[in-house]
A and B are shown apart, each in its own frame.
Chain A
């Protein structure tokens, strides 16, 4: 499926403003301002000035909160977004409400306690983010994440992502039965997205510390429906489909 850009000029705009550059600017700005977030249940709240708010919006980290405060803006970050900024990019610190700074190990344990499947989700999230995809939670589509080629204002998301552990690990019980595969593919089709499975192999390392992540391996697979009635004439199309490993 080709990327669906929103309106004329969006594709050109995206090309001239690469996400890698925006994220790099965000990284510098966060370090410079020594920004610190407040940990609150499964979210992290950050108070930022206008420049940082703009970068967070453009790099698609967090959601802005609408408040009546005039000079500062509050953003709320998900667990994966927070950990990416703290652990992978090393540009954000997080504090508990008691004022103590949380180390990456403490955050790791805390997030795992909130979501046991966090290591797998996080590996998939960071894997895609490193490749400059914008990754957001995919709850409304019944999947783990949705991936955008660039900012959601410019393009529709192309992939609905499920992060699955390698092997019989029952942490994430998705796609274990044919009916789930069928439903999920069908749903993805209705919202014009391709189902992308990110298979995370922990290589027997477990998940005791975030340093284990380095040795996890990732494999990507897309699943789409092959329609025999529509594929008879198109020899070129069939070749492409075989390459992508379609069911």
Chain B
């Protein structure tokens, strides 16, 4: 009994370690990022902590955070975000950005993201590769809001998405859109070869 508890505590402590700031005694390092309005994403300037293994997408040499990743990290105190004038963006301003509809996400979708991330899952937007070398980040990439009809997707993801939507259509479920790829907690997650997700999370209206 004692040995089982010990292992569980170890796993729990490992998970806590990936989120500096949530448990302030554990790790005081705070990362920095710069918000880029055109992309509606944050470009990471300084990385601290192990959470970057499973958060943020890589384009060439830079790491970018979607609005949901940004708000999540700021909420737990692991990230500071500057606007283009070098001023810190408050949580309120970030919530406003989440609500303006330009960043392809809305409150309910963010809540889903936050819930799963807090539990340790690795969560990424459906249709967005974790890592692409030699390519600049595209603006206006895949929207998570179900009202958006046309999404920009890289070719390799297109087929995947269509087959899921097709399966749903065959069941006469037409108001469901894939939103996230979800992987089980994994400290050895590799963005360059993430493998197939354990779950594809879909939102329904």
Interface residues, chain A, with chain B CB atoms under 8 Å away = 38-43, 45, 47, 65-69, 74, 76, 96-98
Nearest B residue to A44 via CB reads B107
| Ranked 6 nearest A-B pairs via Cβ | A68-B77, A40-B99, A41-B107, A97-B99, A40-B107, A41-B106
Are A74's CB and B107's CB within 8 A? no
Contact residues of B with A, CB < 8 Å?
Answer: 21-22, 24, 75-77, 91-92, 95-100, 106-108
Asked whether A40 lies within 8 Å of B95 as measured between CB atoms, the reply is yes
14 contacts between A and B (CB under 8 A): A38-B96, A39-B99, A41-B99, A41-B107, A43-B107, A47-B92, A66-B75, A67-B76, A67-B77, A68-B75, A69-B91, A76-B107, A97-B96, A97-B97
Q: List the B side residues contacting A65 at CB < 8 Å.
A: 75
Which B residues lie within 8 Å of A41 (CB)? 99, 106-108
CA distance in complex: A38, B91 (Å): 12
**Chain A contacts of B97 at CB under 8 A?**
97
Which residues of A are found within 8 Å of B24, using beta-carbon distances?
68
Q: How far is the CB of B31 from chain A (nearest CB, A)?
A: 13
Please pick, from A38, A68, A96, the residue contacting B92 in the complex, using a CB distance under 8 A. A38
Q: Are A42 and B100 in contact (CB under 8 A)?
A: no
Chain A contacts of B21 at CB under 8 A?
A: 68
Please state if A42 and B107 are interface contacts (CB–CB under 8 Å): yes
Once the chains are docked, how many angstroms separate the CA of A98 from the CA of B75? 22
- B99 contacts A67, C-beta separation under 8 Å: no
A38 to B96, CA, bound (A): 8
Residues of B within 8 A of A38 (CB): 92, 95-96, 99
Q: Which residue of A lies closest to B109 (CB)?
A: A41
Given that A41-B107, A42-B108 are known contacts, is A67 also in contact with B95, CB under 8 Å in the complex? Answer: no
How far, in whole Å, are A47 and B92 apart by their CA atoms in the complex?
A: 8
> Whole-angstrom distance between the alpha carbons of A98 and B99 in the complex?
9
* Chain B residues within 8 Å of A39, by CB: 99
- Known contacts A97-B97, A97-B99; can you find 19 more A-B pairs with CB under 8 A? A38-B92, A38-B95, A38-B96, A38-B99, A39-B99, A40-B95, A40-B98, A40-B99, A40-B107, A41-B106, A43-B107, A43-B108, A66-B75, A68-B75, A68-B76, A74-B91, A74-B95, A97-B96, A98-B100
Task: A39 to B98: give the CA distance in the assembly, Å.
Answer: 11
A98 to B102, CA, bound (A): 12
- Would B100 and A97 count as touching, CB distance under 8 A? yes
* Min CB–CB distance B19 → chain A (angstroms): 10
In the complex, chain B residues whose CB is within 8 Å of the CB of A97: 96-97, 99-100
Q: Which residue of A lies closest to B77 (CB)?
A: A68
Give the distance in Å from the alpha carbon of A43 to the alpha carbon of B114 in the complex: 15
A107 to chain B, nearest CB (A): 15
State in angstroms the CA–CA spacing of A67 and B95 once bound together: 12
A48 vs chain B, min Cβ distance (A):
12
- Bound form: Cα–Cα A40–B76 in Å: 20
Whether A45 pairs with B75 at a CB distance below 8 angstroms is no
Set of chain A residues within 8 Å of B91, measured between Cβ atoms: 67, 69, 74
The residues of A that contact B95 with a CB separation of less than 8 Å are 38, 40, 45, 74
